[in-house]
Amino acid sequence: MFLLRPTSATNFLALNEQGNKGHALYLVDKIATKEALNPIKQDTKRALLYVHNCSTSWIYLNYGALPQTWEDPNHTDESTGCKGDNDPIDVCEIGFRVAKRGDVLQVKILGVMALIDEGETDWKLIAIDINDPLAEELNDIEDVEKHMPGFLRATHEWFRIYKMPAGNPENKFAFNGEPKNKEFAEKIIEETHQYWQKLIKGEADANGLNCSTTTIEDSPNKMDVINALTVLQETEEPGQPQDIDPIVDKWHFVQLK
């Protein structure tokens, strides 16, 4: 008989669990980083419940984050001139399959965009599920333009404008919005993994994050299985899905200056 051990969404998976260098793992959906064991959960405060359909761009991707990474809000990034956004690093997975909430995918890293979201560094990794039929063809950022022409331009524009319908200014990018290549992206992953190492060992200001973990032995926030099960037992059952307001289908046409 197996006993399933509760784990933290942010902290439990190793970056290269399969031992295949360059193939990071990626979780689909939002992670509640300020709650015990970091459950996967809809962020109803900061993020939108849904994203608006925005004028000229239409993109289609799966969105998640790499575990065991942290965009350190105490560190100013030299490319963007801004501090980290206090989250794991985000991933845009560009394969054809629409992933399900909570899926864990193994992805090939292709590049990264340097988004500055409301004054914070917010790297957007571009990656593809290793099981996608296109994955063999895509090995670096220039292959994306070759096999998916227009996709990167549309993704850049969408990230620029997606908060404008809610009354926010357009988002900015470092490098003029040009995506950086795989080598650069892997350097950023390694950097954010080092920040996470310090965070989980209690060597960095956690900035309100809950760093509880059931798997990292040398962490001061190590939680034993009994306490972790108690956290699970005290968690509310998921509610019923709510009706979707037809307003989500409205298209917004924004003016860029």
Per CB under 5 A, residues contacting Mg ion are 85, 87, 90, 122
**Residue number, 143 or 186, with CB nearest to Mg ion:** 186
Instruction: Provide the minimum distance between the beta carbon of 124 and Mg ion in the complex, in angstroms, as a whole number.
Output: 8
CB of 64 to Mg ion, least distance (A): 11
**Shortest distance (Å) from residue 18 CB to Mg ion:** 24
Q: Between the CA of residue 100 and those of 1, 11, 27, 63, 105, what are the distances in Å?
A: 28, 20, 10, 10, 10
Q: Is 129 helix (H, G, I), strand (E, B) or coil?
A: strand
Q: What is the DSSP string of 175-242?
A: GGGPPB-HHHHHHHHHHHHHHHHHHHTT-S--TT----BSS-TT-TTB--HHHHHHHHHTSPPP-PPP
Q: Give 204 or 228: the residue with its C-beta nearer to Mg ion.
A: 204
Closest by CA to 11, choosing from 151, 21, 32, 3, is: 32
Min dist. Cβ of residue 49 to Mg ion (A): 18
Cβ closer to Mg ion: 90 or 132?
90
Q: Between residues 23 and 124, which has the closer beta carbon with respect to Mg ion? A: 124
